[in-house]
Structure 1
Amino acid sequence: MVQPALDLPFDAEAMIPGLRAWVECESPTFDAAAVNRMMALAARDLALLGARVETIPGRMGFGDCVRASFPHPRAHEPGILVMGHLDTVHPVGTLAPLPFRRDGNRLYGPGVYDMKGGNYIAVEAIRQLIRAGIATSRPVTVLLTSDEEVGSPSTRDLIEAEAARHAVVLVPEPARPDGGVVTGRYAIARFNLRAIGKPSHAGARLADGRSAIREMCRQVVAIEAMTSDDVTYSVGVIQGGQWVNCVATFCDAESLSMAKRQEDLDQAVEKMLALRPTGNDVQLVVTRGVTRPVWEPDERVMALYGTARRVAQAIGFDINHQSAGGGSDGNFTGAMGIPTLDGLGVQGAGGHTLEEHLLVESLVPRAKLLAGLLQVA
Structure 2
Amino acid sequence: MARERLRPHLIPTAYEDESGGASEEDDRYSEIDTGEESDHFSDSEISISGTNADFDGRTVKVLVLEFAFNDLDLEAERRDVIQTFHRLGYVTELFKIRTLESPTVRSYMMGKLRSFLIPTVSRDQLKEIVREFLSPENPQRDLTKLPRTLLRSNFDRGHVKRHLDIYLKRAVERRLKTKLQKFLNPSSPDNGLFIVYYHGHGGMEEIHRSAVPLQTFLIFSHNQVSEERDNAIWEGILEDLDTREVQRVMSDSFHDKLRNLKDWRRMRPIQVGWKQVCGPILEAQKDVLVILDCCNAGMAATTMRRELDLNRRSQYRKELIGACSWRLATRNLMSKAMTSSLENTRSEGRRSISTLTLVSEMDQWLAIRMAEGNGQDPHQPLHSVIQTPRHDNNRSNMIILPIS
Shorter-chain-normalised TM-score: which range? under 0.3
TM-score by length of 1: 0.26
What TM-score results when the alignment is normalised by the length of structure 2?
0.25
Which of structures 1 and 2 has the larger relative contact order (alpha carbons within 8 angstroms, sep 6+)? 1
* Higher normalized strand content (fraction of residues): 1
